[in-house]
A and B are shown apart, each in its own frame.
Chain A
Amino acid sequence: MTAAVAARRVAASAETRRFWALTWTLAVTDWKLRFYGSVLGYVWSLARPFLLFGVIFLVFSEFAKLGDDVPHYPVYILFALVLFQFFAETTGNGLSSLVDREHLLRKVRFPRLVIPLAITLTSVFNVLMTLAAVMVFAVANGVYPRWSWLQLPLLLALLIMLSLGVAMLLSALFVRYRDLAPIWEVISQALFYASPVLYVTTMVPESFQHAYLASPIAALFAQMRHAIIDPTAPSAAEAIGGAYRLLIPLGIVVIAFVLGWWVFHREAPRIAENL
């Protein structure tokens, strides 16, 4: 190995270290700032999903009697709500992330990917903290830990991949097309109702089930219900009608990620001047 190659390797590893140091620092700062100056701090990050959950539970479960035949319906709602909020938060914050950090992008050179990645990481901190509280709630409601809970990291990883992919795509495009913001708001809202958050997948009419589970969020939530909350509920593979069919929602996750990455990298060199 020549000295030049060695030097280049050292430089490359320094760049990688800087990339992660920067991502981590921005994410931690954002996370800290979120609760700065508020008295209750972390409690607020729990209050939001739990309060929303309270209302939804009251309306759907108590008034509309929607989930009477669904075991641990409240736990499911809470779980799905927290996970969906992660998706909505990551993509929503990701959308405007580059534009919001104009002062950084126009003044310092650093890998632009740091920005959407830091946004995603902040949301990951948030969802992990919230999930910890949700677990307590689950156990209190009679949902006990099982080995299948170990699937949760994998499910989360897929959800993070999907969210990050969409966040990269939206952030890069938002620099040029500012009306993506209201459009995405509507899409995000629509996805909320189109995803099994307020209801469970099995409530979807039999004939639509297979198509419905093509949505990666629906498939992930179906599997989450099976693995964590109610083992008697069908797994994603059962619901979609065969494990191989899971390649569709999985493919969508991969495509979203690759597309987001590709578009972001194409736009990255000119982001500073287009802002």
Chain B
Amino acid sequence: MSTAARVTPDAFVADVQAPIAVRIQDVSKTFRLPHQKYSTLKERALHPLRSRTFEELRAAREISVEIGRGEFFGIVGRNGSGKSTLLKCLAGIYEPDKGQIDVNGRLSPFIELGVGFNPELTARENVLINAIMLGLTRKQARDRFDEIIAFAELEDFLDLKLKNYSSGMSVRLGFSVAVQTDADILLVDEVLAVGDAAFQQKCFEQFEQLKAAGKTIVFVTHDMSAVERFCDRAMLIERGEVVSIDEPAKIARQYNQLNFGRIVHADVEGERSGDQSAEIRAAWFEDIGFQRQAAVPQGEFVHVCVEIAFHEDMEDPIFGWVLRNDSGLAAMVSTTHIHNRHTGSFKAGDSIVARTGFAMRLAGNRYTLSPSVARRGVGSDVVDVREDMVTLLVHSSHITGGVVDLEQSFEIVEAAQ
């Protein structure tokens, strides 16, 4: 089955043995957007007929999916595709117009962290309020207080009013409370976009732990590298409809295609080739401090990291990658073959990360990374290629229209006579 084909929700059968944690059946949600909002009685009285016209925004159309217990399930889609609406229906904040949602277990929405936090109150009081909002009893909230504070690493700021907290600190506090609410099913809506890299890392570790403990996580995001890294399955939605439900790598690729509106290149069939006796597991970007980044400023030092698992012994394989810009142009190509490097010998079962560092001099644009591994030898046969695996945003203060922005000098001298 081609990945571009639409998987009809009904045809989809969850391949999870575990009982179902969340079952969404034919859920539709329509918002009525009046052409002009009449919110006063006078307007209604003066224009009794005019208020009848409204636009219907179908934010979710007959979405069906079953999420198994213990599954890390991603929901991806562009802005306005309906993913947040779906999440709010799941969380019980919106009521769907049609369809049914069955949730097996307690649900903790990480839709926004620190709901009900009041800047005038201390961390202690806010934690209690927030924990009760999220469903703990007063006693549970008090019992878990120390754990919550320890996780947020805020022991020294207990009796400080929240308004004196940095935004990072209050996010940490909110996350800590949400984690401690004993939920079986966690709804996570891009909360990880906030907080520093170290905290994001901690969040993800926490999610992994929760997942290991058998919790179900529904994760809404734009970040394809996170989807590929964490999710077991993902769903792509567009204009309120399910485009497909598939393994994360395929969904990530479809999402990128949807976003950049192009089929990347025709010289490789499909999105993956090679015999995969060494397998590219993941790829990501790091900054100079080895923190994962999805965007870097132009001029900064970046690392391209590719995680590879070897399934057979291999001597001096060739690692390479291509960075393509928005229009599909290979803006930068790197391969260990050029420098004829000995990359080492690897045994079956080895798992490595190949890291290439360079100063980012490419023009401000969105780039996709296609990493590859090949066997050394005549004709270098490809072991694994992953097309457009992750994207990197390079931002710069100016747009030149060129492909690279190299450092340059400029002077005016008198012409020789």
How many residues of A sit at the interface, in one of the four size bands? 20 to 34
Give the residues in chain B near A36, CB-CB below 8 Å: 120-121
Name the residue of chain A whose CB is nearest to the CB of B31.
Answer: A273
- Would A109 and B40 count as touching, CB distance under 8 A? no
A17 to B138, CA, bound (A): 10
A63 to B403, CA, bound (A): 88
Partner pick for A104 among B116, B121, B137, B138, CB 8 A cutoff: B116
- Would B120 and A103 count as touching, CB distance under 8 A? no
B123 to chain A, nearest CB (A): 14
Partner pick for A176 among B39, B93, B109, B111, CB 8 A cutoff: B39
Give the residues in chain B near A29, CB-CB below 8 Å: 118, 121, 125, 129
- Would A18 and B137 count as touching, CB distance under 8 A? yes
A22 in the interface (beta carbon within 8 A) = yes
- Would B120 and A269 count as touching, CB distance under 8 A? no
Which of A18, A176, A273 has the most CB atoms of chain B within a 10 A radius of its CB?
A: A273
Partner pick for B120 among A33, A107, A179, A180, CB 8 A cutoff: A33
B91 in the interface (beta carbon within 8 A) = yes
A247 to chain B, nearest CB (A): 32
B41 in the interface (beta carbon within 8 A) = yes
- Would A109 and B112 count as touching, CB distance under 8 A? no
Name the residue of chain A whose CB is nearest to the CB of B125.
Answer: A29
A107 to B138, CA, bound (A): 21
A183 to B133, CA, bound (A): 33
- Would B120 and A109 count as touching, CB distance under 8 A? no
Known contacts A21-B138, A25-B128, A110-B133; is-contact A269 B39 (Cβ 8 Å): no
Known contacts A104-B116, A107-B112, A176-B39; is-contact A33 B121 (Cβ 8 Å): yes
B336 to chain A, nearest CB (A): 49
A residues 14-41 near B (Cβ < 8 Å) are 17-18, 21-22, 25-26, 29, 32-33, 36-37
- Would B133 and A108 count as touching, CB distance under 8 A? yes
Known contacts A107-B111, A176-B39, A273-B94; is-contact A33 B137 (Cβ 8 Å): no
Give the residues in chain A near B109, CB-CB below 8 Å: 107-109
B residues 218-234 near A (Cβ < 8 Å) are none
Give the residues in chain A near B125, CB-CB below 8 Å: 29, 32
Known contacts A37-B120, A104-B115, A104-B116; is-contact A25 B129 (Cβ 8 Å): yes
B375 to chain A, nearest CB (A): 53
**Contact string, B81-111, partner A, CB cutoff 8 A, digits 1/0?**
0000000100111110000000000010101
Partner pick for A177 among B39, B115, B116, B134, CB 8 A cutoff: B39
Name the residue of chain A whose CB is nearest to the CB of B108.
Answer: A108
Give the residues in chain B near A65, CB-CB below 8 Å: none
- Would B39 and A109 count as touching, CB distance under 8 A? no
A residues 162-215 near B (Cβ < 8 Å) are 176-180, 183
Give the residues in chain B near A105, CB-CB below 8 Å: 93
A22 to B125, CA, bound (A): 14
Partner pick for A33 among B94, B118, B128, B138, CB 8 A cutoff: B118
Give the residues in chain B near A107, CB-CB below 8 Å: 93, 109, 111-112, 115
B318 to chain A, nearest CB (A): 50
A272 in the interface (beta carbon within 8 A) = yes
A21 to B112, CA, bound (A): 21
Name the residue of chain A whose CB is nearest to the CB of B128.
Answer: A25
- Would A177 and B40 count as touching, CB distance under 8 A? yes
B202 to chain A, nearest CB (A): 22
Known contacts A109-B91, A177-B41, A179-B41; is-contact A17 B137 (Cβ 8 Å): yes
Give the residues in chain A near B118, CB-CB below 8 Å: 29, 33
B398 in the interface (beta carbon within 8 A) = no
A35 to chain B, nearest CB (A): 11
B159 to chain A, nearest CB (A): 14
A24 to B164, CA, bound (A): 26
Which of A22, A109, A110 has the most CB atoms of chain B within a 10 A radius of its CB?
A: A109
A266 in the interface (beta carbon within 8 A) = no
A11 to B42, CA, bound (A): 45
Q: What is A's interface to B at a CB cutoff of 8 Å?
A: 17-18, 21-22, 25-26, 29, 32-33, 36-37, 103-110, 176-180, 183, 269-270, 272-273
The contact sample of 6 A-B pairs, CB cut-off 8 A, is A17-B137, A21-B137, A29-B125, A36-B121, A103-B116, A177-B41
Extra inter-chain contacts (14) besides given A21-B132, A103-B115, A107-B111, CB under 8 Å: A18-B132, A18-B137, A22-B133, A37-B120, A107-B115, A108-B109, A109-B91, A176-B39, A177-B41, A179-B39, A180-B41, A183-B41, A272-B93, A273-B31
